[in-house]
Amino acid sequence: MPDTRSSLSLTPAHVAQVHKTIVDKGVEPGVELHSDADYDDWVKRMIRNHPAPGSPTRLFAYGSLIWKPEIEHVAEEIGVARGWHRSFCFRMTRFRGTPDLPGLMMALDRGGQCRGLLYELPKDNLEGQLGKLFRREFTYKPPNSMPRWITVETAFGRTPALAFVMNRASPLYAGSLSLEAVAEVLACACGHVGSGAEYLLNTVTHLEDRGIRDRNLWRLQALVAECIERNSRAVHANEVASA
């Protein structure tokens, strides 16, 4: 498979310009977090509602789970989730953003289609694996990314898979934003775990490595690179003017 990284507009050098050292101030006042009992309930509910009990449990990965899997898997294959698409559609005031400069995180939102990876999870200790996964994917109440069983198409037919989809009832749901608006945010926002630009570059790069090109993300990475370069020129011009 040809290496397409050289044709990316967004580069590690761009990401370095956005990066800042941010001190995590913790959970904001008034935010309610999921408890261990809440996570246990979510795990039991999803296992109880498994569409095909006894069959392998599959996880649909479309973003950071591709380049930073949280749990082990015994097999993987390409799959298409129809009726869902990648979207930077919820605001983040922590992790990859701050209250003063919120970021945007990608989720699986309704409409369109999405090519991603299907991971087959080991049968051993499924409850423990899902508990670990859920603690990574959602922390606040109500959850932003909700676990849900969806149908994914593969080369061997359709299969149920667990996915994390956007909860449109969440107060952090940003709705459908233009790529230009998203790019402006990702070109600036950074939190204590990194920037939105870094997240985007990692996602696009690892999708390309697997032969998956999301047209919206490909266009978005070019827009983010343009925004970062424009912001850099503006800063330089201001420094020259004030010298």
What residue numbers bound the domain in which 65 lies?
13-242
In a domain, 39, yes or no: yes
In a domain, 222, yes or no: yes
In a domain, 131, yes or no: yes
The number of distinct structural domains making up the chain is 1
Q: Which candidate in 120, 137, 153, 226 is catalytic?
A: 137
Whether residue 1 has pLDDT greater than 50? no
Check which CATH number belongs to the domain holding 29 and give it: 3.10.490.10
**Packed helices 196-209 and 215-242: angle between N→C axes, nearest 10 degrees:** 140
Q: Is 137 in the active site?
A: yes
Largest CA distance in the chain: 70
* pLDDT tens-digit series, residues 14-40: 999 999 999 998 888 888 999 999 999
* pLDDT tens-digit series, residues 36-84: 999 999 999 999 999 999 899 999 999 999 998 888 999 999 999 999 9
Region for 83 from its dihedrals, namely left if φ exceeds 0, alpha if ψ lies in -120 to 50, beta otherwise: left
- CA 50 – CA 62 distance, rounded (Å): 20
How is the chain split among helix, strand and coil, in percent rounded to 5?
35, 30, 35
